Amino acid sequence: MARGLCRCQSTDIWFPGQGGDIETPKAICGQCPVQAECRAYALGQPELCGIWGGTAERERGRIRKGQRGLSG
C-alpha cells in the first residue's frame, strides 16, 4: 500500500457501497504500479470489502471460483 495510488485518495472511494461508483476507483487502480500485487493479496483474503487491485468483491468471488474450477 505504501507504493499504491490509493494512498493519495480518500478511503471512501474504495468502499462505494451497493450501486456506488466503482469505475472511478477501478480507473485509478488501472494506473497503479502495484495493481497486480494488490489484486493477488485481495484474492487471498475473501473477507475484504471494497475495490482492491481493480476488482470489486463480486469480481474477486468469480475469479476465486474460476481458479477452484481450474485446479479441480
HEC readout, 7-22: HHCCHHHHCCCCCCCC
- Is-contact 36 18, C-beta < 8 A? no
- Is-contact 48 42, C-beta < 8 A? yes
The domain locations on the chain are: 5-71
Provide the pLDDT for residue 16. Answer: 93
Q: What is the pTM of this model?
A: 0.86
Provide the pLDDT for residue 67. Answer: 80
Q: What is the pLDDT along the chain (72 residues), one digit of tens a residue?
A: 789 999 999 999 999 988 999 999 999 999 999 999 999 999 999 999 999 999 999 999 999 998 876 665
